[in-house]
Amino acid sequence: MKSPRPIGPILGFALLFLFQFPAEVALAEIRNPYRQQADLVESAKEVVQANPESSDAQFNLGNALIRAGRPDEATTPLAEAIRLRPDMKQAYLLLGSVYDRQRHYVDEVELYKKAVEQFSGSDDLLKLLAAAYSRDRRFEEAIETQRQVIQLKPQDSAAYTTLASYTCKPDTTARRSTLRARRSAWIHQMEPPMTISARLISD
């Protein structure tokens, strides 16, 4: 009677053969992290071609391009999404982040000005507009916009800190007036520090 053949080596070889190809695929995905994102871009482009007047399709294409590491190409579909649907807040935020990354601060300022007009009373968008003004070295506008944030949310303590940082930028009228106020308070010892802080908002 013949002894049964050991199945261990055969089974091991079969498992190795079965799992060899998926392992190579996984390794290829690790080596090329943008491969799946590139496929998403192509799919999003096809949807835009079929529905060019769809704001969602344009937004999804812009988002896919950013995720694929191609932000420069994302500005056109995101701007188109805003044109088609001016109340799409996500498109403003995503396009603004692209302009910020590209250091296109003039475009970023104009975008957030449009967003603030569209979404009146949004303190988040006002904060972004003030920050864009500051990056573009338009400190007077940054200060004025940040004061609007405080008027909307006077309980936001971080907004006061941001306002103070803008007033410390060079070549600003508010900074010069603040320094004069501090110097006067130090000499005459008449104004407490909190009065000086309040003046930043009221000036």
Question: Contact at 8 Å (CB) between 48 and 77?
Answer: yes
Distance CA 142, CA 167 (A): 9
Distance CA 11, CA 32 (A): 32
Any domain includes 73: yes
Any domain includes 13: no
Neighbour tally for 150: CB within 10 Å: 18
Q: Is the pLDDT of residue 14 over 70?
A: no
Ranges of H-type helices in 51-138: 55-67, 75-84, 89-102, 105-118, 123-135
pTM: 0.68
Range of the domain at 63: 32-102
Distance CA 74, CA 68 (A): 10
How far lies 65's CA from each of 38, 56, 57, 73, in Å?
8, 14, 12, 7
pLDDT in tens, 87-139: 999 999 999 999 999 999 999 999 999 999 999 999 999 999 999 999 999 99
Number of H helices, E strands in the chain: 11, 0
Instruction: Please give the structure tokens belonging to residue 187.
Output: 């000499």
Any domain includes 169: no
Distance CA 171, CA 138 (A): 10
Any domain includes 199: no
pLDDT in tens, 167-199: 887 655 555 565 555 545 544 554 444 444 555
Confidence (pLDDT) at 21: 39
Any domain includes 189: no
Q: Is the pLDDT of residue 71 over 90?
A: yes
- For the chain, how many structural domains are there in total? 1
Mean pLDDT of 50-56: 96
Any domain includes 162: no
Any domain includes 148: no
Any domain includes 75: yes
Distance CA 128, CA 79 (A): 18
Distance CA 44, CA 59 (A): 9
Instruction: Please give the structure tokens belonging to residue 155.
Output: 């309980």
- Domain containing residue 61: CATH number: 1.25.40.10
